[in-house]
Structure 1
Amino acid sequence: MNILKKYADKPVIGIFIKQLMNVIVSRKANQISHHFSEYLHPVVASTEELKNESYKIRHNVYCEELKFEPPKESQLETDDFDNHSTHCLIKHIPTGFYAGTVRIVRTSSPQQLLPIEKYCISSIDEKSVHPGDFPREEICEISRLAIPAQFRKRATDRFTGSATGSINEHNYSERELRCFPFIAVGLYLSAASVTQHHGIKHCFVMMEPRLARSLRFVGIPFQQVGPVVEYHGRRAPYYISRQLLMKGLSPGFKKMLQNIEKRVAFQFKQTE
């Protein structure tokens, strides 16, 4: 792959090599999509029991491991935004354990703020996309993504950032896509599926720039809309729409999204 990249800027050869690289990346994406479906299952936390599974993971990652929040006697990490959020889990099929969680914070009125509006609104550039640009029912924030340590055992995952979905940039090589922790990808695509179900068109998130670069590599093109600030580590505000997501995803990951959307839609139907 490195040799291909070396000659990719040559006029005629470059066109062929870029096409070949696209084929290779697409095939690897299909492999990950298949692997995800075989071993992992998206779960909408529609019961208190499932929500508590999400809160337990968050406590383990945000309170015990990263120490972003103080430990709680209940061993559940919660806040006021959870009351107007949809929570998703990724279940590891062979063991039955939950391998990660994420929440989609929704809002129905100006008084019901997103976390980014309450704590980091000044970090969004005035000329960039802003939550206030859209109807309240069409916006959300993706937050509290967390992956337990036991599901980050590979060499590429043994660093702090992997707890919240990043990959280790020092390992970027021809193995990038294969090594990307697709639990994190699955969580973001699960969140995308939830937004599709609720008719949400615009998503905001505070994340580490390296996570944004990791997600952009697989075709989830979050757009940075403000500078890096100190908020649970060095983070910046990002934005994505359904249109941007579908434009950026490769065929392999679109297939993965379609599979997740079917599973998520079925679960919503079961609870309605």
Structure 2
Amino acid sequence: MKKLKSLADKPIIGGVVKRAMTSLASNDAKVISKHFSQYLRPQIANTEELRHEVYHLRHQVYCEELNFEDIKESHEEHDEFDNRSIHCFVRHLSSKSLAGTVRLIQSNAEQELLPIEQFCSHAIDHPELSPANFPRDAICEISRLAVPENFRKRAIDKFKGAATGAINEQAFSETELRCFPYIAICLYLAATAMAMQTKRYHGFVMMEPRLARSLTFVGIQFQQIGKLIEFHGKRAPFYIDARQLRENLSPGYLKLLESVERDLIQSGGLKPTTDKGYNNGFSMNPQVSTN
């Protein structure tokens, strides 16, 4: 796979190589999706107790491991955007600990800016794909994705900005270890599924361009809408239309998405619906924090 990546941007053969990489990733995801739910369970943090678990994990990653934020006396990391966010997390079933989290920030009024508008608007230069060009109740931002270091496996992911590192492999089974690199992808799938179900189709995120490129091999296609700036590392603004997620995902990752959706239903975050406007037959039952 590493050799293929080095050829993916080459002229003439690059397109063939990218298709090969996508096929390999899809085949691996088919295998992983069969085992993912045995070890890891996506859920919506729809109670005060669960949200405090999320805030504690965010403090561990953003304040203690990455030093992006100051250490808090409460050992919980949260801000003013949490009150209008849907929080999702992945729980490791055998240890009961959280293996990752992400939030979907909503906006319902002109004064309710997304973080990307409030802090990074100067980086957005796309003439059409700006949050200001869409109705406030149709936009959202994927934010605060965090995976703690004990669930970060691959040596290639040890760079600080990605919040990934070594893992104590003796503590987990071989199959569990294969699932761990998919936690971040699972969180992106959960976030875009939440965006789809709340009809907030126009999603925004600040991320590293190389992460966005990697996600295209999965079929999660973020579009860069501005320049690279310093924002907890070199990041750029990206846009995604949640309605295109299912049609772009490779077959293996469609299976993983379906697994994520089933787990979110069981956690009370999604509920079945007969609304034909939803491609996957689910609707959102959001529990937004009011703390």
TM-score by length of 2: 0.78
1:9 deviates by 5.8
- Give the % identical residues: 51
Q: 1:21 to 1:43 in 2, by over 3 A?
A: closer
Cα distance in 2 for partners of 1:19, 1:190 equals 25
Q: Is the 8 A contact 1:54 1:101 kept in 2?
A: yes
Residue 52 (structure 2) pairs with residue 59 (structure 1):
no
Cα distance in 1 for partners of 2:153, 2:263 equals 27
Cα distance in 2 for partners of 1:23, 1:126 equals 31
> Where does structure 2 lack aligned partners over 5 or more consecutive residues?
166-177, 272-284
Q: 1:271 to 1:23 in 2, by over 3 A?
A: closer
Residue 212 (structure 2) pairs with residue 207 (structure 1):
no
Q: Is the 8 A contact 2:161 2:233 kept in 1?
A: no
| Other-structure match for 1:147 | 147
Residue 256 (structure 2) pairs with residue 256 (structure 1):
yes
Kindly report the root-mean-square deviation, in angstroms, between the aligned alpha carbons of the 2 structures: 2.8
Q: Is the 8 A contact 1:194 1:264 kept in 2?
A: no
Q: Mapping of 1:215-230 within 5 angstroms?
A: 215-230=215-230
Secondary structure of the corresponding residue to residue 239 of structure 1 = strand
| Other-structure match for 1:29 | 29
Cα distance in 2 for partners of 1:122, 1:20 equals 37
Cα distance in 1 for partners of 2:50, 2:125 equals 37
Q: Is the 8 A contact 2:64 2:71 kept in 1?
A: yes
Q: Mapping of 1:68-83 within 5 angstroms?
A: 68-83=68-83
> Where does structure 1 lack aligned partners over 5 or more consecutive residues?
166-177
Name the structure where helix makes up a greater proportion of residues.
Answer: 1
Residue 196 (structure 2) pairs with residue 196 (structure 1):
yes
Q: 1:129 to 1:36 in 2, by over 3 A?
A: same
Q: Is the 8 A contact 2:107 2:137 kept in 1?
A: yes
1:147 deviates by 0.6
Q: Is the 8 A contact 1:105 1:143 kept in 2?
A: yes
Q: 1:142 to 1:22 in 2, by over 3 A?
A: closer
1:18 deviates by 8.4
Letter in 1 for 2:146: A
Cα distance in 2 for partners of 1:117, 1:271 equals 23
Letter in 1 for 2:109: S
1:119-139 deviation line (CA, Å, top 9, x unaligned)? 111111142401112111111
1:188-242 deviation line (CA, Å, top 9, x unaligned)? 1111222122121110001111211221221111100000011111110000012
Q: Is the 8 A contact 2:152 2:164 kept in 1?
A: no
1:24 deviates by 3.8
1:151 deviates by 0.8
The alignment covers a number of residue pairs equal to 254
Q: Is the 8 A contact 1:146 1:164 kept in 2?
A: no
1:23 deviates by 4.8
Cα distance in 2 for partners of 1:118, 1:23 equals 39
TM-score by length of 1: 0.84
Q: 1:145 to 1:19 in 2, by over 3 A?
A: closer
